[in-house]
Amino acid sequence: MFSSRIPFHRLISRCAVMASKVLREAAEIAQLYRDQCRFPALCRADVGPVITSRFGGQYCNVYTEWTQRDLERNENVKFCRQYIVFHDDTSVVYSGPSGNCTEIKGELLSVDSPSGDMKAVLRESTIKGEDKQLLEIWHKNRKLKCLNLTTLNKHGKVYEDDQFGCLIWSHSETHLLYVAEKKRPKTESYFQGPETGLLTDEEDTIKTDKKEETVLGQQFEYYEDWGEALVNKSSPVLCVLDIEGSNITVLEGIPADISPGQAFWSPNDTGLVFVGWWHEPFRLGLKYCANRRSSLFYVDLASGKCEQLSSSSSAVCSPRLSPDHCRVVYMECGVFGPHQQCNRLCMYDWYTKQTSVVVDVVQRARPDGFTGIYSSMLSPRCWSADSQRVLLSCAQRCRKDLLVVDTSTGEVTSLTSQSEEGSWSLLNIHRDLMVVSCSSPNCPPDLRVGFLPEKGSESKVSWVTLEETQPQADISWQTLNFSPPPEEDNSQYPGLDFNAILLKPKETTAGSKLPLIVMPHGGPHSVLVSEWFLSTSVLCKMGFGVLLVNYRGSLGFGQDSILSLPGNIGTQDVKDVQLAVDSVLKHGDFDEQKIAVVGGSHGGFLACHLIGQYPEFYKACVARNPVTNLASMIGSTDIPDWCLVEAGYEYNTDIHLEPAILEQMLNKSPIKHVSKVKTPVLLMLGEDDKRVPSKQGIEYYRALKALQVPVRLLWYPGNNHSLSKVDAESDGFMNSALWIIQHLSL
């Protein structure tokens, strides 16, 4: 059994040192997960008006909102905490919390008026057993008004999502703007209404001052929606509330083929500026898809005239008005093609009506290291006080940095590239006071404020921490860079490199080898930045090494890297991940027999590919809502264009699928390699996933069953693509960890 050339005692001791200690008991893992869940994440920050005290000192209030998983209540709780910041014109003099945390319940949206005197809240509430949406107006310590929007019945549900939703005060503070679903006709069956075919609903007649028509035979009408995470959101309308008169106007004049969202008041409140997405001939999923044809529009309130302000052939998002009300910045990228790309930062001059490109698409990293703009959204406010510079946070390779853009020169300067921390997120900026959050793979998010230094002194920003977090001493992390060997270089896009983040438990027994979990991200045009993740920190504390791979095609490395992948999925990305793993193994810290792969969506696609293409290598696999067969997915996903583009074809809404195209899609899919799989697979599927319908996972499950490869399927009702409900996420984590422990024989 043993080689005679190695003495038996040495073999025993070698086995003993090689076995690294991993936490295996379910109860202990659950306790660790529970402990790590106690670090909240920031989701919003607002800066209130500057107040000058009797003694001449200036101060302002910083309002923050946080979310935290509550495993006992099985929900994500949201709470707020406020801070007082005393400052002079350029620096923070004193700061501290003003009071404790308060849980926020039932609020869908809330916003202070520009002066800070009033507050508007959109609330959901159950009244006499029925769900209602209420719009409340608060003034100082009083609730001035509460409108029951559901009963008023001027429109459907108010949109509270990031894609379309908004709740915005007019500059005059007399009106509020929001987006809601268009009112639908009341319907009844041909066999339930009176024979006249037209009914009136008395209750609605009273509430809406108008006879409401009931149409017959349309109860089963299909309304397209905007896909994954935007279900039942079909036809948004812009709504304006006149606060004094409690009057709601649903805006007309917006072209019938446009869905409006992300709206705000124009200078002088003469009209509304919004992003309009074209929805003909049909709607495609919008979440994670910045590449949908859309433009900036202005609708004039007096005339109802609607004007298009940006190009008809691009995709735009996040328009933000400058403090002097003269200019609007927004991000723009190409239509169709990769779902997330390098953005252009554009600027529209309100008075000259001229548009300029402030920062263009970056094909390759510039000599100063700038790789382009990859933010999915600009922060609610992003302008410097003098309306000259714009601040944003975005991935630069695998680190999220704070960048300042000078709008007159297009010059980009990083505020954070020299810092030691992992990644930075801009929450807000107001009168040059920046509110940011900073985290690392071993340090949960903190909260800091600092003044934007004047141009030329950007590196001199001095941060004041309002909420501190401690780095976790038992986790170490590093960034690793990789260059593909010549035979894997992309001839169309030569010389591209990529990177990975490696997390390791700090304390390891000398000579022992760690088990390794490989995690490629989804998208594929997405990126894993060096920030805090709950699951990776728990796995690392359990005793695993974790390798997060940003293969070629990831965001943050230049547009060429993104463009190098479509047409090459299933090969280039798979080989990049394997190269990263092989390189890490060469350093000898990890046990080659104890490697697992975990991924969701396109990351699940890669996990399934890796176990098919490297059948002896991975000892356990976990796949969340994986893409397993592009050819069978194209007809059922909310983003069929993804299948064609990533398979290397152009997409048109009237595309006719040829057998050769379907064959290519099949060839690039993990199912093609399934007969070689030996690795035990844990599948986790969301019943309501519109992006990668659960049938993808089931197709793979059946194939593995037929091949007698160990497979287990976890089915999460009420969950969509992200499997992010608290019980699904925590159950998924526990089962993944235990699956890996079992099949790595730990």
Ligand X SMILES: CSCC[C@H](NC=O)C(=O)N[C@@H](CO)C(=O)O
Site residues for ligand X per CB under 6 A: 288, 339, 522-523, 526, 600-603, 627, 637, 639, 642, 691-692, 721
CB 150 within 8 A of CB 127: no
The distance from CA 174 to its chain's CA centroid, rounded to whole angstroms, is 33
**From the CB of 548, what's the least distance to ligand X, in Å?**
13
Amino acid at 7: P
φ, ψ (nearest 5 deg) of residue 730: -70, -40
Rg (CA), the chain: 27
**CA 458 to CA 431: how far, in whole Å?**
16
Q: Which is nearer to ligand X, 339 or 673 (CB)?
A: 339
Largest CA distance in the chain: 98
CB 238 within 8 A of CB 299: yes
User: 318, 535, 601, 736: which is the annotated catalytic residue?
Assistant: 601
3-state secondary structure of 460: helix
User: 560, 573, 638, 689: which is the annotated catalytic residue?
Assistant: 689
In the annotation, is 430 catalytic? no
**From the CB of 41, what's the least distance to ligand X, in Å?**
17
Which distant-in-sequence residues (6+ apart) come within 8 Å of 49 by Cβ?
60, 115, 116
Locus of tokens 């040192």? 17
CB 388 within 8 A of CB 410: no
Q: Which is nearer to ligand X, 271 or 612 (CB)?
A: 612
**From the CB of 186, what's the least distance to ligand X, in Å?**
36
DSSP string, 167-209: EEE-TTSSEEEEEEEPP--EEE-TTTS-TTS-EE-HHHHHHHS
Helix-strand-coil split of the chain, %, nearest 5? 20, 35, 45
Q: What residue number has its CB nearest to ligand X?
A: 522
Q: What is the token pair recorded at 604?
A: 């699940």
**CA 344 to CA 362: how far, in whole Å?**
9
Q: Which is nearer to ligand X, 288 or 350 (CB)?
A: 288
Q: Which is nearer to ligand X, 164 or 288 (CB)?
A: 288
**CA 494 to CA 577: how far, in whole Å?**
18
Amino acid at 676: K
Locus of tokens 């703007």? 177
E strands present in 473-589: 475-482, 498-505, 514-520, 545-550
In the annotation, is 632 catalytic? no
**From the CB of 630, what's the least distance to ligand X, in Å?**
8
In the annotation, is 601 catalytic? yes
Nearest to 541 by CA among 521, 517, 522, 520: 517
**From the CB of 623, what's the least distance to ligand X, in Å?**
11
**CA 519 to CA 109: how far, in whole Å?**
35
Q: Which is nearer to ligand X, 365 or 606 (CB)?
A: 606
Alpha carbon separation from 202 to 186, 211, 213, 217, 675 (Å, rounded): 12, 8, 11, 20, 64
**From the CB of 72, what's the least distance to ligand X, in Å?**
27
Asked if omega into 281 is within 30° of 0 (cis), the reply is yes
Torsion of CA 528, 532, 538, 541, to 10 degrees: 100
> The dihedral of CA 479, 483, 489, 493: what is its sign?
positive
Q: Which is nearer to ligand X, 155 or 339 (CB)?
A: 339
Q: Which is nearer to ligand X, 118 or 627 (CB)?
A: 627
Q: Which is nearer to ligand X, 233 or 504 (CB)?
A: 233
> Which of the residues are catalytic?
601, 689, 721
